[in-house]
């Protein structure tokens, strides 16, 4: 009889509060399968920590991922800074900084995390499990950074750099193209256009809609476009992109 998948076991943990089952989560074979895919050698409890959200830690007092996120963010920044430095030796610092920001933003990291199926390994608290918090971009991006930290700690910088760049090349092949930056930087580009034409900045208003937000983009005090989005940040970016795409300014 096959063992239950990690999230199946997690659901049982919430029902039983069994200490042994909690311990089994951090030794789950799903972590072995993930490591096998990418030739990783990391003690299962340490790999599991990279996938442990603070909500689970608060309920069961197990180490969580937050400090690893801090380290992973720095590792990721160094990898991309070095790569951009090599690819664009004549480019100005400001442009390189914008491109790096586009590559380390929440949406990009969540996209790679989804492609790697990290959500299936994320351990969250009961309420967050019911809400499927492990599918949200913020949690996926944070987990990606924490995972990168553990890979760096156990395999070193060169291994981590090569693995990350292989993921980037596979899942975001346009990452180093100018169009990728243009799409990411939509809010700034819209701001420049609106400021030049109307001598005032565009503005965004939001209304809570349960777990989502209704965002409206205003240009010259006229509502141009609106929509419902999971976060204010993603909504503002999407509206700016759409206005630029449709040539409304």
Judge whether 140 and 59 are in contact, CB under 8 Å: no
The half-sphere exposure of 239 on its side-chain side, counting CA atoms within 13 A, is 26
Query: Between helices 93-104 and 66-87, what is the axis angle to 10°?
Result: 140
Dist. CA 147–CA 68, nearest whole Å: 8
Judge whether 202 and 191 are in contact, CB under 8 Å: yes
SS3 226: strand
| R_g of the chain, CA atoms, integer Å | 21
Query: Dihedral of the CA atoms 34, 35, 38, 41 (nearest 10)?
Result: 170
Name the phi and psi angles at 18, rounded to 5: -70, 125
Q: Where does 116-177 have alpha helices with state H?
A: 126-130, 137-171
Residue identified by tokens 């069994």 is 18
Q: Known catalytic residues? A: 73, 145
Give the DSSP letter of residue 5.
P
Q: What is the DSSP string of 92-133?
A: -HHHHHHHHHHHHSHHHHHHHHHHTTGGGG-B--HHHHHTTG
Judge whether 14 and 30 are in contact, CB under 8 Å: no
């Amino acid at each position: 009889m096959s063992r239950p998948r990690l999230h199946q076991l997690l659901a049982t943990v919430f029902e039983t509060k069994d200490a042994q089952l909690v311990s089994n989560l951090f030794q789950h074979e799903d972590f072995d399968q993930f490591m096998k895919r990418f030739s990783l050698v990391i003690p299962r409890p340490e790999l599991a920590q990279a996938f442990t959200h603070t909500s689970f830690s608060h309920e069961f007092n197990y180490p969580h991922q937050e400090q690893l996120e801090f380290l992973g963010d720095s590792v990721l920044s160094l990898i991309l800074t070095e790569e951009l430095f090599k690819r664009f030796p004549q480019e100005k610092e400001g442009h390189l900084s914008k491109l790096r920001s586009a590559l380390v933003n929440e949406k990009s990291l969540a996209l790679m995390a989804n492609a790697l199926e990290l959500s299936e390994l994320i351990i969250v608290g009961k309420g967050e499990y019911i809400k499927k918090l492990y599918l949200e971009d913020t949690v996926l991006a944070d987990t990606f950074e924490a995972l990168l930290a553990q890979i760096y700690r156990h395999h070193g910088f060169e291994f981590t750099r090569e693995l990350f760049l292989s993921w980037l090349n596979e899942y975001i092949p346009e990452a180093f193209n100018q169009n990728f930056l243009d799409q990411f930087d939509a809010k700034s580009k819209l701001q420049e256009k609106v400021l030049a034409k109307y001598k005032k900045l565009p503005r965004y208003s939001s209304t809570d809609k349960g777990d989502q937000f209704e965002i409206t983009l205003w240009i010259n005090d006229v509502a141009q476009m609106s929509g419902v989005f999971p976060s204010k940040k993603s909504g503002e970016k999407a509206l700016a992109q759409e206005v630029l795409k449709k040539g409304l300014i």
